[in-house]
Chains A and B, each alone.
Chain A
C-alpha cells in the first residue's frame, strides 16, 4: 500500500464526514493557533526591542550612581576625564539629570512635562537621533558651548510647541521653576502617539549644567556613555567599573555604589525575560495540542471499530498488518496536518488582529519614535508548528492503527 493512496483515502474519509473531521481537528487547530499567536507576538516584541537598540545605539552604556550622602560622588567633570583617558573604548558621556518642576509660558502652567538635563553627547548629528530616540525637527540641539556656559536654552517636544507656542516656538522663551529659557530647537513629533500632556512629546531638554542650577544640586545620579562600537561596550563597561571602584574605595574596602549596563545587556535581559514568558505560554498552548492529540486518538479508535469489516476485507485481499497500520497512521497524520494548517492560518489571522489592536499601545510603551510592531510568525515557527501537529497525529494515531493492524481477519470479516 503506497503513501499517496493512503493519503488520498484519508482525505476522502475526512471529506465524507466534514463535521466530525473539524471536531477532531479542533484541539489541534486551537493549540497550533495559540502557539502561532504567541510566537508571532514574541517575534514582534523582539523586533521592537531590536529597533530600539538600533535607534539608541548598540554602543550606549548606562551608569547609575547613588553614593550615600556623606560620601563624595563623582562630578560630571570626573566622568569627562574618564572618557578622555580611554579614547580606545569610550567616545562620550552625557549626564542625565531629571528635573522636577513646572514649565510656565505666560499664564499657562504645565506640570506634567518631563525635563532632562543632558550634554551635547546626547545627540548624534550624523543620524539625527538622540540616545533616547528623539529627532530634531526645527532649530538645533544643545551644544558643548551651551553646556559649558550654562546657557539658558532648551529643546522642547512637539506637544509643548503646539500648546504653549501655537506651533512657533523657536527663539521664544518659557520658564522652568522660575528660570527663563530660550527655545533653540523643537523635537519631531512621535507619529504613532497621541499628542497629549505628559506624553513623549511633552518634554524639555536643557544643558545639564543649567538643570543642576535650577534644581540646586551638584549631584548627577545617571550618566549615558557611548563606546567606540558595540563590540567595545563591554570593555568600556569594565573601564568605568574599575574607575568607580577606585573612586569609592575606602579603608573598609570597595563599595559598588553604582550599576552599569550596556545596551546589549539590557536588550538581552529583556529578550531573556520575554523568551521565558513565551516559553511558559507556549507550554500552556502545548497542553491544547496534547488534548488535540488525544481527541484524534479517540476518534481513530472509534473509526477502527466502525471499520472493522473494512479491515477484514483488506486483510483477506492480502493487506499485511503494516499496510493497515500505515493506512491508519497516515489518516491520523493527515487529519492533524490539516488541523495544523488551519491552526497556522487561524493563528496568523489572530496575530494580525492583535497587532492592530495592541500595536499602538505597545509602541507607546516603548517610548521611542519610529518603532513599529509586526506580529508575524517566523518561517521556523510555522514549520515547527506544522511538524509538531503532524507528529502528534502520528504519535496518537499509532495506538489505534496498531489495534487495527492486529485484528484477526476472520473476526474482522464476520464483524457487523
Chain B
C-alpha cells in the first residue's frame, strides 16, 4: 500500500449553460498517513471541488482517486457512503450538528450508520466527547452550546468513527479568532496524536498552521510544499476579491 490519498490527473468539468467550467484541471496530489495538509485557494479556485472529491461526496469527471489503496472514483452511492462512514471524518464551517439530537446522539451518528450496537456506540461516542473535553455536555442540545463548543462536538463526531482522514472545511470560518485558534490547536494536536488532517481554507494565516500547503488556482495546483516556505503564501496575482472570505 502506497499513499493514503492519491489523485491522478483528476478533472472535474461542469457544464454551466453554454460555458464549460474546469473546476479541477488535471490535479495530481498525494497525501500520506499522518500528514497535516492545508488546501488553500480563493473562491473559485477549485478547493471545494477538491474537498468534495477527497471526501467522496463527488466523483471526478476523469482521472483516478485512490483512498487507502482503493479506487473510489468509480464507486456508486452506497459504496461511497460506506467509504465516508469508515474512512472520513468531516468538520464543517457551520458545525452541521443536527439541532434536535443531543450532543451524544450527534456524535453517535457515524457509528449508527456503521451498524455499531447501542451500548458500544454510546461508549465510543462518550470517549470521543471526552477527547474534546465535552463529556459533561453529552445530554445537551447543540443550541445550548457556544460556537466553539459546537465545533468541538463536530470534531468529536468526526473522530467517533476512527477515520483515516479528517477533512476540515473552513473549520474556523464561523468562529471568533480566539476560538478559531483553539480549534486549530486542537486539529494540530490530533495530528500529533497520529491523525491525518486535511484542512481546506481560503485564509493564509490559517493555512500556515499546517505542515504542508497545497495551493489551487483555476483548478490547477500552483504550489505544493512546506507551509513555512515563503512561496507558499505568495498570492500569484493580487486580487482584492481574494480578501473576501469564501462562504
Contact = CB atoms under 8 A, between A and B. Distances in A.
Looking at A312, A315, A318, which has the most chain B CB atoms within 10 Å of its CB?
A318
B193 interface: no
A61 B90 CA distance: 83
A71 to B, nearest CB: 86
B114 A320 contact: no
A358 interface: no
A309 B98 CA distance: 9
Contact of B81 (A12, A309, A315): A315
A250 interface: no
A316 B57 contact: yes
A323 B84 CA distance: 14
Chain B's interface size range is 20 to 34
A273 interface: no
A1 interface: yes
Given A13-B100, A310-B98, A410-B58, A317 B110 contact: yes
A221 interface: no
B100 to A, nearest CB: 6
A320 B113 contact: yes
B112 A5 contact: yes
Interface in A284-333: 309-310, 312-323
Given A309-B96, A321-B77, A410-B52, A316 B112 contact: no
Contacts of B109: 313-314, 317
A347 to B, nearest CB: 32
Given A321-B78, A413-B92, A313 B113 contact: no
A127 interface: no
Contacts of B84: 315-318
A77 interface: no
Question: For the complex, would chain A's binding face be called helix, strand, loop or mixed by DSSP majority?
Answer: helix
B48 to A, nearest CB: 9
B82 A318 contact: yes
Given A317-B90, A320-B77, A321-B78, A12 B100 contact: yes
Nearest to B110: A317
Looking at B57, B78, B82, B97, which has the most chain A CB atoms within 10 Å of its CB?
B57
A230 interface: no
A321 B77 CA distance: 7
A411 B110 CA distance: 20
B41 interface: no
A317 B55 contact: no
Contacts of B55: 316
A318 B113 contact: yes
B57 A320 contact: no
Interface in B49-103: 52, 55, 57-58, 77-78, 81-82, 84-86, 90, 92, 96-98, 100
Contact of B110 (A310, A318, A320, A410): A318
Looking at A2, A16, A320, which has the most chain B CB atoms within 10 Å of its CB?
A320
Contact of A318 (B52, B92, B97, B114): B114
A191 B77 CA distance: 73
Contact of A317 (B58, B77, B100, B157): B157
B6 to A, nearest CB: 22
B113 to A, nearest CB: 4
Interface in A11-58: 12-13, 16
A317 B58 CA distance: 14
Given A410-B52, A410-B57, A410-B58, A317 B92 contact: no
B171 interface: no
A1 B161 CA distance: 15
A317 B52 CA distance: 13
A320 B100 contact: no
B57 A409 contact: yes
B82 A320 contact: yes
Contacts of A409: 57
Contacts of A314: 98, 109, 113
A309 to B, nearest CB: 7
Given A5-B112, A320-B113, A410-B52, A313 B81 contact: no
B207 to A, nearest CB: 22
Contacts of A316: 55, 57, 84, 90, 96
A316 B161 CA distance: 12
Interface in B34-58: 52, 55, 57-58
A411 to B, nearest CB: 10
A5 B113 CA distance: 11
B26 to A, nearest CB: 21
Contacts of B113: 1, 314, 317-320, 323
A413 B52 CA distance: 11
B232 to A, nearest CB: 28
A313 B84 CA distance: 11
Given A320-B82, A323-B81, 13 more contacts: A1-B113, A2-B112, A312-B96, A314-B98, A316-B57, A317-B84, A317-B110, A317-B113, A318-B86, A318-B161, A320-B81, A321-B77, A413-B96
7 contacts: A314-B113, A317-B90, A317-B110, A318-B113, A320-B77, A320-B82, A322-B78
Task: Give the 10 A-B residue pairs with the shortest CB-CB distance, closest first.
Answer: A318-B85, A318-B113, A320-B81, A317-B110, A318-B84, A313-B96, A409-B57, A320-B78, A317-B109, A316-B90
